[in-house]
A and B are shown apart, each in its own frame.
Chain A
Amino acid sequence: MINSILDVEEQIVVKQKPAKPALQGPGIMSGAQAVLEAFLAEDVDTIFGYPGGAIMPIYDALYDYQEKLKHILVRHEQGGIHAAQGYARASGRTGVVFATSGPGATNLVTGLADAMIDSTPLVCITGQVFAHLLGTDAFQEVDVVNITTPVTKWNYQVTDASEIPLVLSKAFYIAKTGRPGPVLIDITKNAQLDKFSYEGYKRCDHIRSYRPKPVIRKEYIEEAAKLINEAKKPFVLWGQGVILGKAEKEFKAFLEKSGIPAAWTILGASAIPTDHPLNVGMLGMHGNYGPNVLTNECDVMIAIGMRFDDRVTGRLDKYAKQAKVIHLDIDPSEIDKNVKATVGVWGDCKETLPILTKLVEQKEHTEWLEKFHEYSKKETELVIYPELNPTGEKLTMGEVINQINLLTKGDAIMVTDVGQHQMVTCRYAKFNQSKSNITSGGAGTMGFGLPAAIGAKFGAPERTVIAIVGDGGIQMTIQELGTIMQTEVNVKIVILNNEFLGMVRQWQQLFHDKRYSFVDITSPDYVTVAKGYGIAGRKVSARGDLQPALQEMFNHNGSYLLEVMVAKEDNVFPMVPQGCSVAEIRLA
């Protein structure tokens, strides 16, 4: 617990402006002001929000805090929460959201569900009607706490101003510690308006009933090390836990000493560079050939900070049955949930990995690694090369991503929406540093990409942020172009337009006899739409125009929208069809 708080602070020292705004001392203060004081004490610098009746006292207080807290006015609350997610994922900090009561709050639900399943730390503040009106069907009254209970790590309704400092300190503590997640605090209007005797802000560092960080039990790690040392064909699967635990260095050290080939879930991508010799690629339904097939050949599987999602495992009763499984996770309910662990190591991998590294023998699994390379050769020949070097007239999604790689050298943050373009980006994008792949993994939320990219840029302003979106997803949250216009945030938007809801079309082609039921989607003239928002743009469909257009996009000072027309009926391969074992992965 103590360590994790230090981590946060360490990072803040690096990220924060040197002069920290002075905090208010004890005195009489409104609940609304106490919310903002809590933000300052928690080193919040950016809020994504949208005002409304029940949250007006907080917005009124914010008027006096404009110098200290940056507020990004989004165009829809869903855009606000996705932006906060992008901010959190790019920065490793907690995203903060404001929304009003009723529809403002219900518009957060999709983002909460997304953040919950993808373990993104958020603190969302919603306004609520006056406490005396609760349960009267008042204007814009919705039972927000109960609606959001299944999609929050914790939520709470404040009806008394004096509760605010303590509740907010708990909110930030819970969101960020253990397995992170979204927290929602619903504050009635009277609690925002009422004055109370403020006694200063104390950061929460302990809740009796909540144990986010277990002390490491060395005997389990010893058992794990023994299995690893005896293994002939060990295989590491890593997930976002490595990134959330800020354990990239520790993870790399473990891999390099043990010499074990490692594959990633899409949320784990970028924790180690794409071109690391032990990085053998992506797991799951559209992952790489070797990692999927060899899952069913390894003798010891080491899962680190991942949760064996069904899109990763395929058919469970045919998943790695031959392997002994070591599962490192900070959330004990994940151990044995989907895949039974031979050895479960409950703990923060930043702490468990160094102990494990010390205990494992220095090895090189050359022959075993070579097997991955053999599968990779076959995949390159049959899938990757044709995708990246197509001979057809139409552009492929893969070649667009490849061209982007050549220009960014793998230094950009890639934010994707959901669908074919997402899988293609995860497969082909090159990553040199951690926190570079921001995508909606567990929830698969279309509309995530554009707002998340906006948030990512605020979270990591020094980096290039590219939103890769499809023609379906962009239309779900296209209104956030307005946020880009107003804030002048520099986001590069690449729409891969195949004039279809491509992933659904792919499934209909493969599993529903080409009955293309309502996947034929039309698009507006995106370049004109962008122009309407004052955003530069261009549309390309010829191969020769692609590279210059991308170059123009990167050279442009400010946001830019590039629409790329790609082949209409391309499919993403390899693919593990639903209900099949990972070993039954198809290359075509």
Chain B
Amino acid sequence: MALPLRYNVRSVLIRWRSTLSTIFGIGLVVAVYIMMQSLAVGLEKSSANTGDPRNLLLVRKGSTAETSSQVTREQFKLLQYLPDIEKDEKGEPLISADTLILISLPRKGAAGEANILVRGVSKVGMQLRPQVRLTQGRMFEGGRREVVVSQKLAERFDNLGIGESFKTGGHQLQVVGWFDGNKSAFDSEIWMDSDDARSLFDRENYSSVLLRSDPTQWGALTNRVESDKRLSLSVIPETKYYSNQTATATPIRFLGNFLATAMSVGAIFAAMNTMYASVGARTREVGTLRVLGFRRRAILIGFLLEGAILAFLGGLIGCLLSLPINHYSTGTLNFQTFSEVVFEFNITPHLILKGLVFAVSVGLIGSLMPAIRASRLPVIASLKSL
């Protein structure tokens, strides 16, 4: 038979002065853990959110990112006549060639420069990416050196407000609109007319080709493209291309796990200290329970529970502390495209649960030794220990 839960709960609470710092300590550990993981989750989500399940992306054989790929105009012409490409209402094939240029722009607040992806995109290219929505201003017009900018990017970089302009490659580019990429990788891009981009940045070739095709035809289409010696391109589903780009999150996860492990060791020591003190101060109480007929196991479980309750409270505090950072947007370097990726901290219910489980495990591990000690106290201690 176990001790009543309310006994353990109240025992934790009555010592609140000495347990508060431990609870808080565990809370901070959990907060750091959740924040780091939410950073990784947000980063992964920005990649996973991108792409249309009906789209195929074509890049040069061997290249792992659009930025390092090249597609010649001849190749693009050949591709346009491929069967299996879906057509729009007017009977035009849904295929678009993009040009990607990395440009270096100053961050707001003199925080250095970062590379940003400029995507030269066609009308069809926009049609193929319905995730992207214009939120303010208007769309760019070809031949006028106009660009539209992700709203999230505009918040982080100088001169990206509507009506403002910035200089790159000796040309002045005018910002005429802001768009929202719906938490996708496009939130880290600047869009402009495809032909403008090629002429301004002196590019003969396109970077990549995006097309829409019925997934049942993908096998045939891939075969046709990859076996054509003139093309030498590889075909990847658009969603897969972006989900492959989550490698940037790996070091963040690594750092998060390392921190959580190291800090949890400290937290376990703190929990141990608190619980040992609690056991020491309650020697007589434990003895009394034993005299009343409670078995060793009940005492053991009772103290383990107290450790768990203590840590759970800490975990709750940690969750609360980390919540304000949810949806806070930040940026870092994407290794694969070598450009700034803008993303949000993303605290999911799953992460909260993980944080709480993490806290409770710290509590259980920390209270194990003190609980064993408590359960081994001699019964007669209830009469001495004065």
Q: Do A and B bind each other?
A: no
